[in-house]
Amino acid sequence: MENEKQVILSVRDMVKYFPIKGGLLGRTVGHVKAVDKVSFDLYEGETLGLVGESGCGKSTLGRSILEIIEPTSGTVQYRGKDVLHLKGKEKKEIKQKMQFIFQDPAASLNPRRTLEQILLEPFIIHKMLTPEERRKRVAELLEIVGLSSYYIHRYPHELSGGQKQRIGIARAIALNPDVIICDEPVSALDVSIQAQVINLLEDLQKELHLSYLFVAHDLSVVQHISDRVAVMYLGKIVEISDCDNIYSRAKHPYTISLLSAIPIADPEVEKERIILEGDVPSPANPPKGCRFHTRCFKCMDICKSEEPELIEQEPGHFIACHLYPKGEN
């Protein structure tokens, strides 16, 4: 993938299968193929939006990259270093540089700890700074995310949803990371609060030169915040390109149908809406060939037997679809 920017995170052939247990002995009788050979690069300072319907594997992909859940196979390189196979001090150092913001701020904060205790934790775990320096840094973090020091001895239940997410963000930036995986960071918030949190993430990105993998199902939010967008369907990336390109010139039938569902504020503008037929197939038994073929309005015979590769059709525009075979666009 060519780009002037430096690749900061390179994910190759990431796989996450969950075993399905069955029978009296609880044997593995199959696998839910949540993420199936996903590859992409994240560039320094960019936001890569990752979209798709619920259950397409986008959150599982984010969690597997940071080993919040153990990936089945694949590689993750941070600035050229193979993160998944590192051990000890070197791994700990690289892990500081890659952080995660959880979807549900309420569930991700320990209800028995004050905000100060929550924000001190990363420094204690990584044995960084003196106790005095840690307290100073915690006060600084609260200020950075727009919360008054008044809250420092409060508990998470005393905060609003937006304030809790600000603490989630403060915790994520505490150790000066380069990469943050944001897992639906605003979807649990009221619409009025979403914009504030998005603005905060954008400001922090500029000030701290962060790279985001931004997982979301809200296509308008993704359009607002992303430089590039990757579209996932049933455990696979089916299209990646610049944000403008995806939103104005999407090529993959799944991307086209997803985008056709975005409402337009102008009642004068008519938009053709593509309604997808049928349900999303089970990731435990994905369709042969193109995984989207059971719902695709452009399905051809080849789609039912051959899986399309993700091919670069134009610089930076990758599509996995038999409508766009290699070198023909």
Using CB under 6 A as the criterion, which residues of the chain lie in contact with ligand SF4 when the complex forms?
252-253, 290, 292-293, 296, 298-300, 303, 308, 321-323
**Would you say 142 or 238 has its CB closer to ligand SF4?**
238
**Would you say 249 or 298 has its CB closer to ligand SF4?**
298
Q: How far apart are CB 180 and ligand SF4 at their closest, in Å? A: 31
Residue with tokens 């590859």: 39
Q: How far apart are CB 300 and ligand SF4 at their closest, in Å? A: 6
**Would you say 177 or 253 has its CB closer to ligand SF4?**
253
**Distance separating alpha carbons of residues 5 and 46, to the nearest angstrom:** 9
Q: How far apart are CB 252 and ligand SF4 at their closest, in Å? A: 6
**Would you say 171 or 236 has its CB closer to ligand SF4?**
236
SS (H, E, C) 234-265: CCEEEEEEEHHHHHHHCCCHHHHHHHHCCCCC
Which DSSP string do the residues of 73-138 spell out, in sequence order?
Answer: EEEEEETTEESTT--HHHHHHHHHTEEEE-S-HHHHS-TTS-HHHHHHHHHHHTT-S-HHHHHHHH
Q: What angle do CA 103, 15, 29 make, to 5 degrees?
A: 100
Residue with tokens 């008519």: 270
Q: How far apart are CB 82 and ligand SF4 at their closest, in Å? A: 32
Q: Which residues pair with 181 in a beta bridge?
A: 100, 213
Going by the DSSP 8-state scheme, the letter that residue 217 receives in this structure is S
**Would you say 160 or 305 has its CB closer to ligand SF4?**
305
Q: How far apart are CB 323 and ligand SF4 at their closest, in Å? A: 5
**Distance separating alpha carbons of residues 204 and 202, to the nearest angstrom:** 5
**Would you say 58 or 252 has its CB closer to ligand SF4?**
252
Which DSSP string do the residues of 27-74 spell out, in sequence order?
Answer: EEEEEEEEEEEEEEEEETT-EEEEE-STTSSHHHHHHHHTTSS--SEE
Q: Is 241 left (phi over 0), alpha (psi -120 to 50) or beta?
A: beta
Q: How far apart are CB 158 and ligand SF4 at their closest, in Å? A: 49
Q: How far apart are CB 41 and ligand SF4 at their closest, in Å? A: 23
**Would you say 198 or 320 has its CB closer to ligand SF4?**
320
